[in-house]
Amino acid sequence: MRGLGDLERAVMEAVWAAPGPVRVRDVVDRLDDRGPAYTTVLTVLDRLAGKGLVSRERDGKAWSYRAVHDREEYIARLMLDALALAGSRDAALVHFADSVSPDEAATLRAALREKS
């Protein structure tokens, strides 16, 4: 899984923020007033569907889109992909752990205790 470009990220943020499936017009309306054209958003959503990040289904004459994964799961997958690139996963994890705040470290420790 790879990262998203700026426009893809903005579109995904609009999809994630929606309470349910969205149509292209919904996404266009959620982007700022000088955002991309309807057809551009349609193209981005189609590409995101091709990447497996959104699913789509027919809704009358239009398509409805919804995120396949929530934002947190997407970020977790990116982190796992980054770890896969490391020469040493252990060393990468240690560097990561050293770089988080004390509060984040406490949250991580609590989550790890809960999982075990």
Residue type, 99: S
What are the sequence ranges of the domains in the chain? 6-67, 71-115
- pLDDT, residue 116, reads 78
- pLDDT, residue 2, reads 65
- Per DSSP, the three-state class of 100 is coil
Q: 56-80: buried (b, 16+ CB within 10 Å) or exposed (e) per residue? A: beeeeeebbbebebeeeebeeeeee
Assigned token pair, 28? 């266009």
Q: Does domain 6-67 fall into CATH 3.10.20.30?
A: no
Compute mean pLDDT per 10 residues along the chain, 116 residues long, and list them: 85 96 95 88 96 94 95 92 91 90 91 87
